[in-house]
Amino acid sequence: MHPQDTNTTVAKSATHFLTGTFISRVTGMVRDLSMAYWYGTSPAIAAFLLAFRLSNLLRRLFGEGALLNGFIPFFEGKRKNDPKEAALFFRDLFWSLVVILTFIIVGLEGITGAILYFFDLSYGTKQILKMIMCMLPGLIFICLFGLSIALLQCERNFFTPGIAPVAFNLVWIIAVWLCRHQEPYRAMMGISVGVVIAFFLQWWATLAGVKRYAGQFLTFREWLGARLFTQELKDMVIPLLLGVIGVAAVQINSAVDVIIARWASLEGPAYLSYAHRLQQLPLALFGIAIASALMPPLTRAIKHDDHKNYKSLLKFAFGRTFSLLFPGTIAIFLLGGASVNLLYGRGEFNNMSTIHTTYCLWGYGLGLVPAAFVLLLAPAFYARRDFWTPTLASLISVTMNLVLNIILVFGLSMGTLGISIATSIAAYYNARFLLSRLNIRILSAVMPTFVKVVFASLTAGIATLLFGYFFLHDPTVRLFLGDLTVEYSREFIVQLKEFLVLTSFYGTIFLLLSYFLRIDHVLSMMGLSKASV
């Protein structure tokens, strides 16, 4: 067991990742604000978001998800025996990935071009395919970015992977403002070009760390003398394919969600996208931060047969994640409308856009905690080189999601709200399946903390809901009851005041209850306790 891998180091690594991610998410929010202000939830932006989702399937398959989880166990295993062997493994994987992605992207460009040339398609569909063709070349950079951040995380560099997307967001923002006065579909094509440049700069932001690592073991000539598709890479193929199957199922399902949303409403993909971005903020700041910091230490614990620390790290991660994200779930329902209105409620983003986006945010909010648990549980299996269990869980949950989409959207006519609820239910089942297969009594060990957090969150939530209804005339209660006639203020000062007052009220009550109940994971984040670490 590496002597530095403890609950404290995981917490510090997660904090570094969180710091960088917070900065990148702020710029991402500015990006979304710019898009919402100039284009609202128009069919053109909905088409762009659909094209972006479809063109990013390769990103999830070969970039951030399967590759990262497949790379770390193999890399740590080789580094334990010989650091230079691990560096050569990274080099060979890097150049092999470049070759594979180049062939795939060229093939997809050809197929998409042929569809455009030979088939008589509607104007909107043609624009979607053109935007996909425009964005596809950038995927080679985002996939290499995924490999780079996997290496940096093994090197305990979590700040750079967290903050690198700032470059991506800034370029996107510049593209939005340069194209803001153009015809909507033409503007989306311009932004698509900006996305490719953004992907490149995001990858470029990680190169200094990668170069610093490679320079310790490899000369420049050795770096260029790569061996493509070596036996070591072939040994990684089966685990990687299992990861790809699981991620592919999830991403295909996600793409189907957006297609169904567009079927239900031309603005549907925009509602889902804006809501998903808000739901991803707490998930990225806490769930993904802790999961990213957890994977390398778990792998090293398995390599050194330190099962006691393996269990300790998992229990710590579960307690910390739930303590931070369950209050966030309650906040999504209390502050969802106020936050959507504050961030997007101006320009072309009208009152109905606010209402429907809030409903989608609530639907996604139901799955915030289970989605975070999946992020924590999957690395626990990957560290043991068990790639099949997370893949099976993904396939089952995806099937469930598709069935629920059909029932909720087409059977019960719930529209985009039904899609977001189906996603959350599937995430809950995924987490439950993985927990049942882990054979570690995690929940029972952290149950006292869970009970305290639930009590504090619900008490603070009910108090805030009543305070907002009676003193601020907040429309959340009416929206809960299905009243679509509620009106949100379009004045920024009023929007800001309502959000800050409700947030401060909820946060104050929750933190006071956390102090009196001694919820250590919350107090440690405030610097008031060391018990959790």
For the chain, what are the domain ranges?
1-39+267-533, 43-250
Go through the chain and tell me how many residues it has: 533
Quick: pLDDT tens for 397-416.
Answer: 888 888 998 899 888 888 88
Is residue 358 a contact partner of residue 336, using CB atoms and an 8 Å limit?
yes
**Unique residue bearing structure tokens 């629920």:** 404
pLDDT (0 to 100) of residue 2 = 45
Residue numbers in the chain where pLDDT is lower than 50: 1-3, 530-533
d(CA 491, CA 341): 10
Q: Within 10 A of 224 (CB to CB), how many other CB atoms are there?
A: 10
The CA-atom distances, in angstroms, between 384 and each of 60, 379, 438, 514 are 22, 9, 11, 35
Q: Write the CB contacts of 163 (distance below 8 Å, at least 6 apart in sequence).
A: 19, 20, 21, 23, 24, 205
d(CA 508, CA 504): 6
d(CA 247, CA 62): 9
Distance, C-alpha 74 to centroid of its chain = 24
The CA-atom distances, in angstroms, between 509 and each of 227, 246, 270, 505 are 59, 41, 34, 6
> What does pTM read for this prediction?
0.68
Q: Is 183 helix (H, G, I), strand (E, B) or coil?
A: coil
The CA-atom distances, in angstroms, between 518 and each of 134, 314, 333, 456, 512 are 53, 21, 25, 11, 10
pLDDT (0 to 100) of residue 3 = 47
pLDDT (0 to 100) of residue 233 = 66
